[in-house]
Amino acid sequence: MEIDKREAITASNLGPVVSLLTWIMEAAVVIAVGVKFTLSSIIPGRRNREDAVLFFATVFSIGFTVSMSVAVPNGIGRHQDTLSTNQLETLQKGVYSANILLVLVSSSVQASVLIFFHEITPDFFHLRFIYALAVLMTLFCISSFFVAAFPCASPSVWGILGTQCIDQLSFWEVFAAVNIVIEGALILFPVLVVYPLTMKKRRKAIVISCFAVRIIVIGAFVAQFYEAQILKSHIVDRTFHIWKYLLTTVFVQALSIITVCIPYIRNLLLGMESGMIQTGHFRLPSRQGIDTEISLRRITVDETSTNLSGSADPKLEESTISHGKKDGRI
């Protein structure tokens, strides 16, 4: 069995392209997750519950990279008639395990985002949205896992190039399509939470854009869907033509993890109350909030009209959203 052997990129050997980009993306994943976990450990208080799920997603991602490193030098991007029986068997086992890990990475990352949303909102409508999406994600994850784990007749369930298998490319098309819907919902949810709040438009845009960056993941799923359709027309010599499709799966799993770290990193930087990170003389809020003296709430119409008439506390006019100290400054 060959694993990650250095080879030249040629017109008849395109596998090294997949291998190179796989390791580059995995390095980016480890760095992004490492930065997030490091910043989390600096802030006092309990760890975020979504970190545990994100940790498992990272482990699955590393396993995905190892599986691809086994499959690529054993025939990915090379013509099938030039491969030995042993190489074909190893290639199929590597791709088979990578497919299972792809499902686990995608589901774990989405679960991590959903746990984060559950922690930041007490709104009943928002919670119903979260629970409904969680049920959809759970059912889809379980069904996708079993399809990826048992695509072919036993005992060679890993023989994905054989004739005793389901239409796997159609399954991966459905997998990409459903994940596009789920990712769209995960992008839409922060808009539903942030838009009604009485805060500056600039701050709203920053918060929403941190989550909207996951549109890159949707783009990766679209590419996976497209390449799965293209690969259907290449029934013969599939080992040569599969390299583009596998490359899209590399970006799907890596970008899913990298983008989920972006909103946390900014909030964690703002929440680090050390002597090195300050904004002038103001105290910086953590994600969970440093003080409980001022709660996050909406300003109702009655309160606003009362303030304008001068009979209520005029301080509400200065800042309607605050996590800071008594004066409400950030």
Angle formed by the axes of helices 15-42 and 49-71, nearest 10°: 160
For residues 89 and 193, the model is more confident at 89
At 152, is the secondary structure helix, strand, or coil? Answer: strand
CA 152, distance to chain mean position in Å, is 28
pLDDT(1) > 80 = no
At 44, is the secondary structure helix, strand, or coil? Answer: coil
Q: What share of the chain is helix, strand, coil (3-state, %, to 5)?
A: 65, 0, 30
Among 62-66, 68-72, 86-90, 266-270, where is mean pLDDT lowest?
266-270
172-206 tens-digit pLDDT: 999 999 999 999 999 998 888 887 777 788 888 88
pLDDT for the residue 195: 79
Tokens read off for 293: 């003296």
49-75 tens-digit pLDDT: 788 899 999 999 999 999 999 999 999
- What distance in Å separates the CA atoms of residue 211 and residue 262, rounded to the nearest whole number? 8
pLDDT(283) > 70 = no
**Model pTM score:** 0.77
CB within 8 A of 180, min separation 6: which ones? Answer: 218, 221, 222, 225
- What distance in Å separates the CA atoms of residue 199 and residue 235, rounded to the nearest whole number? 56
For residues 8 and 303, the model is more confident at 8
218-256 tens-digit pLDDT: 999 999 999 999 998 887 888 999 999 999 999 999 999
Indicate the CATH number for domain 15-271: 1.20.1070
Tokens read off for 297: 């709430």
At 271, is the secondary structure helix, strand, or coil? Answer: helix
Percent of the chain with pLDDT over 70: 75
122-139 tens-digit pLDDT: 788 889 999 999 999 999
Q: Domain residues of the chain, as ranges?
A: 15-271, 291-330
pLDDT for the residue 297: 44
